[in-house]
Structure 1
Amino acid sequence: MHKPASQILSALRGASLLLFRSACPVVGGQAVMEGIMMRHGGGYALATRHPEGEIVVERFPWFSLTGHPLLKKPFLRGFPVLLETLVNGIKALNRSAIVQTDAEEAPASGWQLMLTLLLALFMAVLLFVAAPHGLSLLMQWLGVGGGVEGLTFHLWDGFYKCCIFMGYIWAISLVPDIRRVFQYHGAEHKTIHAFEAGGIVDVAAAAGMSRLHPRCGTTFLLFVICISIILHAVLVPALLYVYTPQGSIAKHALTIAFKLLLVIPISALAYELIRHAARLSDGFWASVLRTPGLVLQRLTTAEPDAAQLEVALAALREALGEETAGRDIRTAEYIVASVERP
């Protein structure tokens, strides 16, 4: 089963794969253990390859935090969408692990899900907030960086944040199970490319598509990191200019706490930016916003095989349900179809 940090990365990767074309229903996706989750509307389909070879397809309701109209407004919806995507992504990952181990299904209780989410968030904070901050303090101690009130501290912080992020992705890509997840990530992208293109959607059509998708949640992660570097460099010194607590420990504790609070506006800005980038017509600014994410996807995706594409097609067909009318989406036989799970 995935470690919490891998769960949060996988869930975030799927956060923003949205199709903004009027000809296509809105679909979001995420790779899981030996399978793919596809979301459409108020539910999502989870297709996994059973160890015996069959494809198991199930449908689940989508847990949402944006039921109130106010939380659907621009610049207010980003953080709730991030949280609900993490919750649903972890649920899908856990369910896919149950299918792979053929274990007795024991639905996760609310406190178990909350504990998993909190542990995943703790690992993310440790890796991408606390560790870069501590390494920037080391640079200050070595005399090659300034204090937290200055720009150089936050430049080092941003540098280490990017290094940890890229190093983490590279390191987990060496794990065979994660490499398989990256192949399913590529299958998800190829299948949605084929669906967007129109016509028959089958293994042959999907195989000919690119495994890189401009609306992948990987771009969302890059936006979060870039925006955090800018806001931390501007707002942290501004905060310390207004109020600086006595003592070095208190000052750095305040700084880290402030960075954690900034996750809310940073995720909101990143969400709106990726939606804007998705709607842009091809051109200079579209390339500027999309290219870094496409380059990073060369690490987070891998070429899938035909069997993995079959799983992606089954997930897409089940997610769309009645909206597949008029579209020829050809899938392999699977053993559980349209099973509604609470």
Structure 2
Amino acid sequence: MTEKIYGGQAVPEGVMFQSNRHMATAIRRTNGQIDYFDMPRPVNKVAMKLKKIPFIRGIVAIFESVVYGMKPMDFAADRYDRDPQDDHKIEKENQNTNSVKVALTAAIFAILTFMLGKFVLTLVPVFIAEIFTGIVPGKFGQVLIETLIKLIILLAYIYFLSLTPMVKRLFQYHGAEHKVINCYENNLPLTVENVQKQSRLHYRCGSSFILFTVLVGFVLYMFVPLEPFHVRIINRIILIPVVLGLAFEVLQFTNKLRNIPVLKYLGQPGLWLQYLTTKEPQDDQVDVAIHSFNHLLRSEKE
């Protein structure tokens, strides 16, 4: 097993891979060629210190992922469906905008969108569960109903989203990303044939993290007041960062147990969710992912 840890994310018609120092993105253009985007991974001393503190490091990692992932996503979004001969228009378009303001606005918007989604996923089930208090009374029953509703909303949202052609292709590149990392971590040559034989699931995936926030919330909510209703709402909001921090630690813990018999199944729920958030990629998509990862490895040596 290799010791260095790499991560990544799918982008429109491509994949971004990153280490602790570099980020490399490869996308397939409309004419079949592969274009690359490189950037050093920003180093923030404050963030580095916070990432050494358990429970807090998870929240920092989430916001870093959201903010740092914006540029590769913008690169891909600007080019994936554009004829390469029209690339000169991108520079002109960017000249007509304040790039700093746009980047800052995009980062803030991404963070707010994430938080809004978390608020919706946290609070909507609370209101629905309250309707069933007469049928399912008591703390355990109410928290269980709340958790089940949360899971239904999450799974339904991902499923119906995956039916759209663009998201389906994005999920295929997500699968290609996992397959490449699995192939690399199994010390196999990165060929399309070898990569396609790998699982499209991976323990460190952010999809697993999302599911763990639901499961961690179920356990945590058993230890806080349920009544009166406004107190239930308040503690759900207050506990959002706590749930995020704990879920990250659970994700890290299950990843360490991935090769231990019996204990490895603790991470299984997160892997199950990835059957929705990843799709089996085509050979040409795997080829793009391999190019991206190899490009990152070359950047690491420079």
TM-score, scaled relative to structure 2: 0.86
Are the equivalent residues in 2 in contact too, given 1:39–1:319 (CA < 8 A)? yes
Cα shift at 1:285:
1.1
Identify which of 20, 27, 30 aligns with 2:6: 27
User: CA-to-partner distance for each residue in 1:304-332, whole Å, 9 max, x for gaps?
Assistant: 111101111111112223557xxxxxxxx
Q: Partner of 2:122 in structure 1?
A: 129
1:89 correspondence with 2:69: yes
Amino acid at match of 2:116: F
In 2, the alpha carbon distance for the partners of 1:38 and 1:215 equals 14
- Asked if the contact 2:50/2:60 (under 8 Å) is kept, the reply is no
Using the aligned pairs only, state the percent identity: 30
Aligned to 1:146, the other structure's residue is in SS state coil
Q: Counterpart amino acid of 2:30?
A: P
Q: Which residue matches 1:210? A: 199
| Superposed displacement of residue 151, structure 1 | 3.1
Q: 2:292 aligns with which of 272, 293, 315?
A: 315
Alignment of structure 1 residues 137-286 onto 2, 5 Å: 137-140=130-133, 143-146=134-137, 150-237=139-226, 251-252=229-230, 254-280=231-257, 281-286=259-264
2:24 matched residue in structure 1: 45
CA distance in 2, matches of 1:43, 1:73: 23
Contact 1:155/1:233, CA 8 A, preserved across alignment: no
**4+ long deviations beyond 4 Å:** 63-66
Write the deviation string for residues 274-297 of structure 1: whole angstroms up to 9, x where unpaired: 21211223310112x122222222
Q: What RMSD in Å do the two structures reach over aligned CA positions?
A: 2.3
Residues 180 and 289, structure 2, Cα contact 8 Å, conserved in 1: yes
Distance 2:18 2:65 in 1: 10
Q: CA deviation at 1:187?
A: 0.6
Residue 95 of structure 1 aligns with an amino acid whose one-letter code is: F
In structure 2, C-alpha distance between the alignment counterparts of 1:311 and 1:196, rounded to whole Å: 18
Q: Is the 8 A contact 1:129 1:256 kept in 2?
A: no
Question: Do the aligned residues in 1 keep the contact of 2:122 with 2:236 (CA within 8 Å)?
Answer: yes
1:248 aligned partner: none
Q: Structure 2: 5+ residue runs without aligned partners?
A: 83-88
Deviations 1:254-274 (A, max 9, x none): 533432221222222221222
Unaligned runs of 5+ in 1: 1-20, 245-250, 325-337
| Residue 116 to residue 290, structure 1, CA distance change in 2 (3 Å) | closer
Structure 1 stretch displaced more, 215-224 or 184-193: 215-224
> What does residue 98 of structure 1 align with?
78
How many Å apart are 1:116 and its aligned residue? Answer: 3.4
Is contact 1:64-1:84 (8 Å) kept?
no
Are the structure 2 counterparts of residues 306 and 223 from structure 1 closer, same or farther at C-alpha, using a change threshold of 3 Å?
Answer: same
Which letter maps to 2:270? G
The amino acid of 2:292's aligned partner reads A
Aligned residues: 286
